[in-house]
Structure 1
Amino acid sequence: MPTIPPLRYVAPPFSLLALAGFYFIVVHMVASKAPLRFLEVHKASQVPLALTHISLLDKMLTPLVSFFIAAFGDPSSPAYPTTIDFVWSFGSAIQLPLIEAQRVGMDAPSMSRSVLAWPMIWGVLYQRVSGGWILPLWLLAFMRSKTRAAGAGIGKIEAESVFAGWWLGHTIPALAMLVPGQSPFTRPPIWIAFPILMSLAQHGYYCARRSLCPASTRNNDNTRSGYVILQLTYLSAFVLSCIAHIHSVIIPGLLSAPAPSSIPTHLHYLLTTYLYNFFIPPTGLRIPSPESTTAASGVRHFVQWDVLVVFAAVWLAGIWDLVLRRHDRDASKKGHEGKNCVWAVVGFVGGVTASLFVTALALGPGAATAGLYAYRESVMEEARARRRTDAQNGVTASDSLVDETSRLNPDRVVRYD
């Protein structure tokens, strides 16, 4: 079982990322008066300000609705391509809490596991105050989870429920909201509630599937069939992110190159100017001026920082997890020396990071994230397959781990899926 990193190593980077998300998103938004610009757009729309007619609840919901009206209500807005790319890229990040809550052993008593077992609560928090602030905190708990370290699988029905929850709660409502040629919003788009919708759809599918599935079939269920469905879930996020990124970023970037232009000119402009301006806030680290902040610039600033912080945190956690698994796999190799191990880790981290950046620029950060975690799942499935083979051959858990890692701790427990 891969090592659980000590809290003193895990807490600083993810806490700093959470603080960065809070400062560059929440503080910048308030200081630049962007919420007032969103409210102006909301008042000018056909969407009522009072949604529930319950004063306290409306005070909580109105700023959220105002932001989404400003972000998605006007397809001609200069911020619209940024928000479109964000919706489909963010879809791969929000899969993770839903998936990890279904891991085998998640219901065991553990603070980190019980925290991860409530994706809807995390979703409501990141929807209300930004993913850049909340998701790094979820990833901190994720890295400290014994379920993550064990590489536990997901049963077939659980994997199906995740697939259904993500599609029914997030993807289909987003598609309905973003269909071209729609009339202006007259009510808040249902997609706003996607964290709640995803969890409800996932739980509803799970309960229905369990009630319709014979008990004998449920008892024979295993994580191998769940693995295939899980990879299909990652593939869905990958494909949708690719389509959205190419449509909203790459093609407009290539077509907007200044004349006279050629293919090299188009590519040079795309790589050096357009993509930089698309992902990097124009004010840099500074708080935008309230006098110059508009609804569109406020939306874009929020989304750009959300993308930078969220995907930095998600990639850090994914790479860190893979490094731990590689170390666990390679520790027993003959001639394995510490110096060589360090350079191997540096090379691996550098290669994966470069691949993520290239993929994010070409196909979208969501596609890069989906690919990273699909690869992680395949690494865990290979380890689970080795353990199943050892079990079938009569190899004990201790013998198997000694043979693989040469550093078994007596108190470690290996789950056979």
Structure 2
Amino acid sequence: MPVNIAPLDPAALLPIAGVEIGIASAGIKKVGRKDTTLFRIAPGARVAGVFTLNRFCAAPVRICQGYLAAGHEIRALVINTGNANAGTGVDGMQRAQAICAATAVELGVEANQVLPFSTGVILESLPADKIIAALPAAKADFSASNWAEAASSIMTTDIVPKASSTQVQIGGKTVTITGIAKGSGMIHPNMATMLGYVATDAAISQPLLQQMLKYAADHSFNSITVDGDTSTNDSFILIATGQAGNDEIVDANSADFAALQAAVLQVSQFLAQAIVRDGEGATKFITINVEGGASYDECKAVGYAIGRSPLVKTAFFASDPNLGRILAAIGYAGINDLDVDNIEVRLDDVLVAINGGRNPDYREEQGQAVMNKAEIAINIKLNRGEHKATVWSCDFSYDYVKINAEYRS
């Protein structure tokens, strides 16, 4: 079961002025399953996106990247689960484009104003006809309050839906941020299989919206790992409708930008951590804090080396304080001039390693007490600089193997 995720309260998800959502069933993988989600975005809104760096990226990712790079005003998102439309070549592109064209007709916009997204099984042909047939029902379901339903409809192997809202005062106006995400397995940057959609009614310039999204991604969805596999379909979208009434944010050094960025990051980190907590078969939620690095990137590298290590992850599943595995992961993280004699490693507050070896005062029962917990922090000091980074991960259980062995069943 997911690790310490509170049940989703639909009433806690705040509508965003300028965004409507409709959900329908296309029967892509299971008859009656709500698997198609449609966003309608008001004119004048701005949309930014970051996507997987997997070179085998899916057809919808390539289309989204092209439409956003061309500067088209985005008016709709169409999302399907059950089929990734990845590894499908020219046919996959044509099917995704057909969905964009049909959505455009349904909503009275242009095809290049529609961003498509898919998640599910790779290397299988997308049933575009089923998705197109479901569009009228999705349109008929449009509501500004359908965030919780959308969080459920985009799930694949997820056990729980993931969503969050917050508000912040900007320029004397109340600005709202709401987001949803899906992901449970094939989670590792860049990005971490996940889809994320965050919207705000704030007014902000397009360049600063993209800058804000990149920062949020780097410190949330690009700071998690479940299994070390980078998906073909990862997409993270940030929408700003500009309907909150605040003066447009155009200065990255302003207090308004900082306030909005902090709120977007708060929602993004909640969603990213929820993906790890719902990691396939996860029983432990692990926070890896690395500080004292010569750069942010090397701190991140150490965090990832630990977070994706099968030996570390299986030890945590067994609640076995076999903590030498953590030292081994630090050692192969790729820092060639690392002085291991300067490193400190703590499990929560328990000092495990210092001066290149085991802390003489460390006792196995101390480590065991920490390993028995559902939430554990690994705290590392490299003592070679001023930078720090955090990575969130989970353990590997028997269920992870079972879920992925039976994924297409």
TM tier relative to shorter chain: under 0.3
* Higher share of residues assigned strand: 2
* Higher share of residues assigned helix: 1
The higher relative CO (CA closer than 8 Å, separation ≥ 6) is in 1
Larger Cα-atom Rg: 1
What TM-score does the superposition give when structure 1 sets the normalisation length?
A: 0.25
What TM-score does the superposition give when structure 2 sets the normalisation length?
A: 0.25
